[in-house]
Structure 1
């Protein structure tokens, strides 16, 4: 901030020597704008900034000024788990869902990460799952999934294959997955 003020003092002296009127007013306006910006950042927590950013992103993506929800209020995610060493882990729906819940809690806190995360279908052979999440938590869940780096202490990568407002299904044969209804 001190460097910022020093540069403006230098600019003010150059402007006043050149005979341009209003240089002091310009300096004061810039100084107030800088104070407002730093106060804004101090007042808002990281979680509020993230919520504000994700709300604006959804508005731009939909092309509207307001967020509209689907009739069901849920989004469906087709998520695939890629493991460095697939034989060394136990892949179950409980562990799969627990890994995502753990990531939500570590990123957004206990309260910010609380959401219902339902496994609609699960395939251990394909390492895939269809998840149902409330629409207003979609961005948080996607962030949490993207930031998971380990599954049972094995390096991994979660990939969201598709997202839909309608229930998704696997392309493979139905014998290979578990359905939770």
Structure 2
């Protein structure tokens, strides 16, 4: 195994963990995403060219969708080269809430942790990973050292947890999922 294989192995493990956690076919009446298989919604599967019954969506096709839509497209692979645990959190949150929301959590946390722009400039919360977000992440990691990634991860998870609670408060039908979200999606669950 070469060093070039490490990022691919890491995303393979993340994808396998999400697929295992999400399980097979689900069509919960309170789930606004509708029918899912391996955690992939019908809308996403159709947008990626899958035309068969959702119950039959192959695991390998789901893995390809996860890699393309939830890892490469939002540039989480570029974050992984700098901060693998942050990238893993972005991926998991992106699968559950959307990659733009996950990226927004990162950007908000970076802005809040930059000590009023002394460590690096504020960035737009545009919910897209680009050169400025990556530069801010580099600046944060340089300024905060070894423990910085852990603190940034906690900040992102705090934002995620608040969003879950707000969703359940706004739409009581989502309370059916709140315990699982908090148990399985926050704190490395």
Instruction: Give the TM-score category using the shorter length.
Output: under 0.3
Larger % of helix: which?
2
User: Which one has a bigger Cα radius of gyration?
Assistant: 1
TM-score for both structures, normalised by structure 1: 0.26
TM-score for both structures, normalised by structure 2: 0.26
